[in-house]
Structure 1
Amino acid sequence: MKIGQVARAAGVSVDTVRFYERRGVLPAAPRRPSGYREFGESAAERIRMAKSLQALGLTLDEVVDMLRAHDAGGATCESERWRLEAVVTRLDDRIAELERVRREAVQAVEDCRAGCCRLLSE
C-alpha cells in the first residue's frame, strides 16, 4: 500500500503516517525503486490501534513501548495492564487538580460578588 492509501484506510493524514513511522509506531517501510514507501496491509490497523490507545490516555511513547512489547511476542493483557492502570492514576491526579482549581475559581467568583474582587488590584 502507498502512504496515501494507508492514510485513507486509517482515517489520518499522510503527515500522520510519516510521523508515526518516524516515532516507531510503524516499522520503517521499504521503498519501491521509485522511492515510494510500500506499507503492509497491517499498517492502517496499527495506526488505528495507536490512535485508540492515545484516546484512552496513553502517551505516544507509551504506545510505542506497548507496540514494541507486542512485537517482541511476550505481551499479554495481563503483562500490559499496568500501562492502563498508570493512565487511570494520571487521570485521577488530573481530575483532583482540576477540582482544586475549580474550587479556587468558585471562591474567586464569590469574593467578587461580595465586593472583594481578585481580578482588579487597587
Structure 2
Amino acid sequence: MSRVKIGQVAQAAGVSVDTVRFYERRGILPTAERRPSGYRVFNPTAVDRIQMAKALQELGFTLDEVVDALAAHDQGGATCDSERWRLEAVVDRIDARIAELTRARRAAAESLQDCHAGRCRLTTVTRPPHGPEQPDTT
C-alpha cells in the first residue's frame, strides 16, 4: 500500500499540517511511519479518519469524545445502540449552551434598550445585590 506525505494528507482532508500532527499526538491518527529523511508518511485512509473526526467535532463532540468514538469504531463495537449515549450527551450539552446564550442575549438586549433610553448599565457601577461587602472580622 502506498504511503502519503503529511502535506498531501492535510491538503486532501482540508486541514493544516499542524492539525494532522495534533491528531496524531492525540491518537486520532495512528503514529505515522518515518522515512529515512525524517518525513512522516501516512496510510491514505488517514484522510478518511480526519474527515470522520472533523464531522464528529462539527456535531459538537469534544476532542476526547472524538478519540473515544473512533476507538469504539476501531474495535468494531460502535453501533447505534452502543453509541446513542454519546449523541445524547452532545445534544444535552448543546441545549445547555443554547440556554446560556439565550440568557446572555436577553441581558444584552435589555442593556441595549436601557442605552436607547439613556440609562446605559455598562457605564454605571452597581452595588452587589446585598449591599456593599462587609470585611471579614472572623
What's the TM-score, normalizing by structure 2? 0.81
Moved more, 108-117 or 42-51: 108-117
Which entry has the higher C-alpha Rg, 1 or 2?
2
Q: Distance in 2 between matches of 1:120 and 1:13?
A: 43
Tell me which protein shows more strand as a share of its residues: 2
Correspondence 1:84 to 2:78:
no
| Structure 1 counterpart SS, 2:121 | coil
Q: 1:75 aligns with which of 65, 78, 88?
A: 78
Match of 1:12 in 2: 15
Q: Distance in 2 between matches of 1:64 and 1:58?
A: 10
Please state how far the C-alpha of 1:112 moved relative to its aligned partner: 2.8
Correspondence 1:27 to 2:13:
no
Please state how far the C-alpha of 1:119 moved relative to its aligned partner: 2.2
RMSD: 1.5
- Where does structure 2 lack aligned partners over 5 or more consecutive residues? 126-138
Alpha-carbon distance change, 114 to 35 in structure 1, aligned in 2, over 3 angstroms:
closer
Q: Distance in 1 between matches of 2:12 and 2:123?
A: 53
Tell me which protein shows more helix as a share of its residues: 1
Please state how far the C-alpha of 1:5 moved relative to its aligned partner: 1.3
Match of 1:49 in 2: 52
- Cα deviation, 1:71-120, whole Å, max 9, x if unaligned, reads 12211122112111111111111111111111112222222333432122
- Cα deviation, 1:12-45, whole Å, max 9, x if unaligned, reads 1111111110011101112223322221121000
- Where does structure 1 lack aligned partners over 5 or more consecutive residues? none
Say how many residue pairs are matched.
122
